[in-house]
Amino acid sequence: MGMTITEKILARASGNKTVKAGDLINAKIDVVMCHDITTPAAISMLIEKGIDKVFDKNKIVVTPDHFQPAKDIKSAELHKRLDEWARRHKIRYYYKLGRAGVCHALLPEQGHIRPGEVIVGGDSHTCTYGAFAAFSTGIGSTDLAASIATGELWFRVPESIKFVLNGKLPKGVYSKDVILAVITRIGVDGALYKAMEFVGPALKDMSMEARMTITNMAIEAGAKNGVIGFDATTKKYLARHLKDKKAYKVFESDADTEYSSVEEFDCSKLEPMVAMPHLPSNAKPISQCKGMAMDQAYIGSCTNGRIEDLRIVAKIFKGKEVKIRTIIVPATPTIWKQADDEGLFDVFYKAGCVISAPTCGACLGGFMGILAAGEKCISTTNRNFVGRMGSPKSEVYLASPATAAASAIEGKLVDPRKYI
């Protein structure tokens, strides 16, 4: 019986010729992602145990992002601890303030993600990097501490579900709409500790930015990881972004691989989707929910804060003004500068938007867009749990950048296709 991409990567990392779902393995880690929320706790654990060390200063990537720039004294203290640790261990890839960005946009952009590798990070949306045919998963602070010190971690090899994305996306429908439709079908626990492997012709026309949106939200179905196979689009992106030109290993699922299940979608029949409160799996087509009044639009995050997303929004905003407070958050300094250079900020400014420095702030209810009781926000983020962006009596509606932009113009949920 053949192996999946996920199984092949884990076999390589654990020194085995083959592995199968359910096997317990000890895998070598290729990249460890560290940010300002979970890493300080991991650092404390290591210091308390007298093992304040790093396994490889060149394989750890550090960036503050959740509360950067520091919003208060507590977050400033987190940044200080992270900074002192990174300097003490001479971490090579430390992106501090001015170069810091939303981690899951920053690492691929700066060339730290390669096919066939095992990547872990102290953040649930680390599954984003699976878009590059890698095994990537989020871990807690305890496992993060172990990874930092040893460069190894144990895993149970996950079963894989194949998601076949057929057809071609209609105008005004994006990868965010696809993943919301997928999660709504299978539920927030529909892929619990499984690999979500995405294949099919609809992927062919998707950029790497669009693919990262899909794998980013695999965790919202409970998945251990999301993964998309390597193709010409992947190769072209890596040729532009990789830190070095060393060869990388591409793994493909075997033709005789057995999946725990197979889900097929006709993407040509999709329409823009909106995830209603309070679950990402509670999505409805825009035709079933349009007209609902909003108080805020938030466009950014590790899901949809890339340059492609901002370009989509700018096309919709050009020559128009927003009716509700609208916050634009480029995910990295590079994206921020590119958006400025392309004149997108002029469009956002004239439309009446707030433009922020790169941060995760509002997405997790930290700062830069907190909601009051009773307020509703149309957001391009990945979670809309109770109290996710502020008051437990507020509501978050998840959608694509296009849907969020169109809704900001009218102050209510709107089908973006009327503006495209």
Q: What is the mean pLDDT of each run of 10 residues along the chain (420 residues)?
A: 95 96 97 96 95 96 93 94 96 95 97 97 97 98 97 97 97 97 97 97 96 98 98 96 88 95 96 97 96 98 97 98 98 97 98 96 91 98 95 97 98 96
Q: What is the pLDDT of residues 45-60, one digit of tens each?
A: 999 999 999 999 999 9
* Buried-exposed string 278-314: b where 16+ CB fall within 10 A, e elsewhere: ebbbbbbbbeebbeeebbbbbbbbbbbbbbbbbebbb
Contact 79, 85 (CB under 8 A): no
The confidence score (pLDDT) of residue 232 equals: 96
Please determine whether the domains at 5-265 and 273-419 fall in the same fold group of CATH.
Answer: yes
Residue 29, Cα to own-chain centre: how many angstroms? Answer: 20
The confidence score (pLDDT) of residue 68 equals: 87
* DSSP type of residue 293: B
For CA atoms 396, 34, 71, 96, give the dihedral sign: negative
- Structure tokens, 303: 């899901």
What DSSP element (H or E) covers 227? strand 225-228
Query: What's the rounded Cα separation, in Å, for the pair 247 and 364?
Result: 37
Decide which of 3.30.499.10, 3.40.50.300, 1.10.260.40, 3.90.1150.10 is the CATH code for 5-265.
Answer: 3.30.499.10
Residue 9, Cα to own-chain centre: how many angstroms? Answer: 21
Q: Which of 197, 164, 187 is nearest to 267 (CA)?
A: 164
- Structure tokens, 208: 């790497």
What DSSP element (H or E) covers 155? strand 152-156
The confidence score (pLDDT) of residue 48 equals: 94
Domain range summary for the chain, segments of one domain joined by +: 5-265, 273-419
138 three-class SS: strand
DSSP assignment of 50-110: T----S-TTSEEE---TT-S--SHHHHHHHHHHHHHHHHTT-SEE--TTT---HHHHHHHT
Q: What is the pLDDT of residues 140-157, one digit of tens each?
A: 999 999 999 999 999 999
What DSSP element (H or E) covers 303? helix 301-304
Residue 234, Cα to own-chain centre: how many angstroms? Answer: 17
Tell the burial category of 269 from Cβ atoms under 10 Å away from its Cβ (0-12, 13-18, 19+). Answer: exposed
- Enter the CATH code of domain 273-419: 3.30.499.10
CB atoms within 10 A of CB 277: 15
Whether the bond between 278 and the residue before it is cis, its omega within 30 degrees of 0, is: yes
Residue 205, Cα to own-chain centre: how many angstroms? Answer: 19
Contact 119, 10 (CB under 8 A): no
Phi, psi of 89 (to 5 degrees): -100, 10
